[in-house]
Amino acid sequence: MDLFDSQGIEEFGTPVVDEHAPLAVRMRPQSIEEIVGQQHLLKPGSPLRRLLTPSTDSPAGLSSVILWGPPGTGKTTLAYLIARASGRRFCEVSAVTSGVKDLRDVIAQARRGLTSTGEETILFVDEVHRFSKSQQDALLPAVENRWVTLVAATTENPSFSVISPLLSRSLLLTLHALTSEDLSLLLDRALASDTGLKALFDLSDDARAGLLRLAGADARKALTLLEAAAASRAEKSEAAAENAQEPWVIDADDVENAANQALVRWDQDQHYDVASAFIKSMRGSDVNAALHYLARMLEAGEDPRFIARRVMICAAEDVGMAAPEVLTTAVSAAQAVQMIGMPEARIILSEAVIAVTVAPKSNRAYLAIDAALADIRRGKGSAVPPHLRDAHYSGASRLGHGVDYIYAHDGPHHVAAQQYLPDDLVGASYYEPTMNGNEAILTKRLAVLRELLKVR
């Protein structure tokens, strides 16, 4: 698909905007000057600025690029601006809907154009992390032989989601999440622009705050919500026969209608206060309160990944060894939230929150590591006992390393009675389990282990 044709943009010429296109498309930047955010990548002389600056020089040295960043930060926009600046043909495939055959067809077409007319192609692959290894492998010959210049976008860490050969042949650019100031600027630009809302609308302070919160760091979502809220306001204003000479003011109700959810009051204090109440409710085993605060955060547009991290921390700190399997549940939930996103992530988070909240509690593992760290910070911890030192190198036995070490599996119950702690910490006790849940078993086992470990 040719992005310029599909979005009403004449290839490398003056933009022609389709007035029926979504607001987010109509407000897409057409030059470097219109890009909001990503200033760390746009400094004079930076690789991205050079890619975005039209040049009369030969573009033969244009590198393949991987753009990594959250949704709505401008990855697609940067891709076609790179194409426009370099004067190359632009083709787009989506990793969600395209397979190896689609890739090969696009690459074959690009190769024919390069051979017959010298026309070069920029291939934009959206959500490249969704391509399998074999699909990513199919891109390698085209990138390596410069049949195409790849511009790939991903919301996941390329170190884990993109194969190493492709990564090593590309320039990795990390996009930052847009700030509230960035999004507010975009909203003002859309309200005033002739290609946007043509100064027919204004935003109340509450509506602006609601839009910014609901959008998160996603410019596309912010503009989509603004367009829907404007439509809601226009419908009500026309019905009320208001004076069309004055801008219609979009209020919080319009944003609520657009988002189909209540605008819960949410500021920095609320963020920390509700998160604190959420954690304390899980720790206190009140499942109804924990679910209330979970719902409150989700409805307010809190990042579900932030919530998942809090659940993992609570599973480790407050459930601990009383039910160690709960941490596994919380980690799995966090991974699933990352992969699936909202709105289905609410179900996964609910399951994890319930598991953490109703589980037996113990903070003894948390207290144990802090006690061990406290001794280290007080300067305790002398030399490792000689029999525990590494004995796998020439001369170790001459130094007494590993001598008289007792292999645990040779001892009764597979426990070897010998000194393990440094001399100045002999007798130190860090982990003292409770009688809650799984730790009741550990308490009994630890008492037996202490007897078996006594050096007679």
Q: Could you tell me if 222 and 215 are in contact, meaning their C-beta atoms sit under 8 angstroms apart?
A: yes
Of 237, 259, 281, which residue is a domain's last?
259
Residue 161 in tokens:
């989601």
Confidence band of 6 (pLDDT split at 50, 70, 90): very low
Question: What is the b/e burial string over 343-378, where b = at least 16 CB atoms within 10 angstroms of the residue's CB?
Answer: eebeebbbebbbbbbebbbbbbbeebeeebeeeeee
In this predicted structure, the answer to whether residue 14 has a pLDDT above a threshold of 60 is: no
Overall domain count for the chain? 4
Place of tokens 């100064």: 199
- Please report the pLDDT score of residue 264 as a whole number: 62
Residues 59 and 116 reside in one and the same domain = yes
- Cα 131 from Cα 135, distance rounded (Å): 6
- Please report the pLDDT score of residue 17 as a whole number: 56
Least confident of 215-229, 280-294, 316-330, 421-435: 215-229
CATH number at residue 169: 3.40.50.300
- Cα 347 from Cα 355, distance rounded (Å): 12
Q: Quick one: CA dihedral 421, 427, 428, 429, positive or negative?
A: positive
- Please report the pLDDT score of residue 261 as a whole number: 57
In this predicted structure, the answer to whether residue 270 has a pLDDT above a threshold of 90 is: no
* Domain of 284, in residue numbers: 268-358
Of 159, 174, 189, which residue is a domain's last?
174
Widest distance between CA atoms in the chain: 98
Q: What is the mean pLDDT of residues 304-309?
A: 92
Closest-CA residue to 62 (of 44, 76, 81, 77):
81
Q: What is the mean pLDDT of residues 343-355?
A: 95
Q: What is the mean pLDDT of residues 326-345?
A: 92
Cβ count within 10 A of residue 51 = 23
Amino acid at site 87: G
- Please report the pLDDT score of residue 213 as a whole number: 84
Higher pLDDT, 404 or 364: 364
Q: Quick one: CA dihedral 75, 80, 84, 88, positive or negative?
A: positive
Place of tokens 């001598």: 403
- In angstroms, how far is CA 417 from the centroid of its own chain? 48
Confidence band of 204 (pLDDT split at 50, 70, 90): very high
Residues 147 and 289 reside in one and the same domain = no
Residues 157 and 198 reside in one and the same domain = no
In this predicted structure, the answer to whether residue 357 has a pLDDT above a threshold of 50 is: yes
CATH number at residue 352: 1.20.272.10
Residue 339 lies in a domain: yes
Residues 103 and 230 reside in one and the same domain = no
Higher pLDDT, 348 or 98: 348
- The per-residue pLDDT of the chain, averaged, comes to 86
21-25, 134-138, 285-289, 385-389: which has the highest mean pLDDT? 285-289
pLDDT digits (tens, 9 = 90+) for 251-265: 988 888 888 755 666
